[in-house]
Amino acid sequence: MGFCMESARIMLIIFNFIFWLSGVALLGVGIWFLVDPNIAHYLEVVNFDLEGNALKYSAYILIAFGAFIFLVGFTGCCGAIRKSKCLIGFYLMFLVIVFAGELAAGIIVAIFRSEIEDKVDKSLMKSLKTEYKFANESSITNSWDIIQKELKCCGAEGYKDYENSLYTNTTMNKIPLSCCIMENDQPKDATQCQMAVDNYYHAKGCKGGLIDWVKSHSVILIGIGCGLAGLQIIGFIFAVCLCRSFNMEEK
């Protein structure tokens, strides 16, 4: 029984070292989602006029639980080293909380991912029609310009999305420069492009690329949230085994 207890203690300490590293990973991914300017531009366009921002909320959850994991890991290590049933009990409770939080973050993003195509149409069209202005006049304009340049697209479904928009009603142009085909970082022909002449602008819409971007980035959050939640089951097993060893030793 002494060998079993020592084995459980050592395994729990090793697990908590890995657990701490997972906390660093959660913090890093969560902070990356919040501070990366490119991600911010994509999220602003995708989530314009939507009630929720699942990716951003999930990033906040990951950051919170990433920081909380340091406390949980410390509690587990102290409980294993001091052979404290009380600390191990708190450790088990904290593991359940972290498990539930990470799983919740993964589920929130998974639900949002499955509904993104239905929800994003109205959001994209409204932001183009009512909020897109001259370059650098608003944050949504800058975000659209960056996305159209990076994805080599124009509008949501295509360039005609700009018809009867705030932008076209205040200019003589049909589309903005960010829709243009570039040569050496400059429009191939700005005048022809902004008049929507074929072969001078990107004909495809941005909707497909934006949806693909959301789905690919949501996989990261889902994978980390659910993957680490599964990892914690191992720690839970080690902690339960150690508690049982304590009980057997007391007998």
Residue 200 · residue 193 · CB < 8 Å: yes
Report the C-alpha gap between 61 and 175 in whole angstroms: 39
CA-based torsion, 69, 72, 76, 81: positive or negative? positive
pLDDT at residue 154, rounded to an integer: 93
Average pLDDT, the chain: 79
Interval 187-238: pLDDT, tens:
889 889 989 888 999 989 998 888 888 778 777 777 777 777 777 777 777 7
How many beta carbons lie within 10 A of that of residue 172, not counting itself? 7
Interval 91-118: pLDDT, tens:
888 888 877 777 776 777 777 666 666 6
1 — pLDDT class (breaks 50, 70, 90): very low
How many beta carbons lie within 10 A of that of residue 8, not counting itself? 21
Q: Which residue has the higher pLDDT, 164 or 81?
A: 164
pLDDT at residue 4, rounded to an integer: 61
Q: Which residue has the higher pLDDT, 176 or 24?
A: 176
Interval 43-70: pLDDT, tens:
778 765 545 566 677 778 778 877 888 7
